[in-house]
């Protein structure tokens, strides 16, 4: 696993759109979990953990799952759009 410093500086492997969607999903999951913290259930903890994961994924731009399978949607995004415009 990469150190956090590397993830935040040069480990971006998801596109801007994925980052925005991940941050939104993370925020929604955390917001849904907060009321359940008074009497937490397994569902509450799963929502909270998933929300933190998606939130961090969106903020950092690094996805360990994408890295593990060699997927990088942040690469050559501008080049792809330029080739479509031609």
**Residue 1 within a domain:** no
Convert the pLDDT of each residue in 43-64 to its tens digit: 999 999 999 999 999 999 999 8
- Which residues constitute the domain of residue 25? 12-85
> The pTM is what?
0.73
C-beta separation of 41 from 32 below 8 A: no
Would residue 2 count as lying in a domain? no
State pLDDT tens for residues 2-34.
565 555 556 888 999 999 999 999 999 999 999
- The answer to whether position 80 is within a domain reads yes
Distance, CA of 58 to CA of 32 (rounded, Å): 18
How many independent structural domains does the chain possess?
Answer: 1
Instruction: Return the C-alpha torsion angle 38, 43, 47, 48, nearest 10.
Output: 40
- Give Cβ neighbours of residue 45 (< 8 Å, ≥ 6 apart): 33
Whether residue 50 is contained in a domain is answered as: yes
Determine, yes or no, domain membership for 69.
yes
């Amino acid at each position: 696993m990469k150190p956090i410093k590397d993830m935040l500086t040069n480990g971006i492997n998801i596109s801007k759109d994925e980052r925005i969607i991940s941050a939104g999903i993370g925020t929604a999951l955390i917001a849904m979990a907060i009321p359940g913290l008074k009497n937490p259930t397994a569902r509450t903890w799963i929502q909270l953990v998933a929300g933190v994961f998606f939130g961090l994924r969106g903020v950092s731009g690094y996805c360990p799952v994408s890295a593990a399978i060699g997927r990088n949607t942040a690469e050559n995004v501008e080049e792809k759009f330029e080739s479509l415009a031609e």
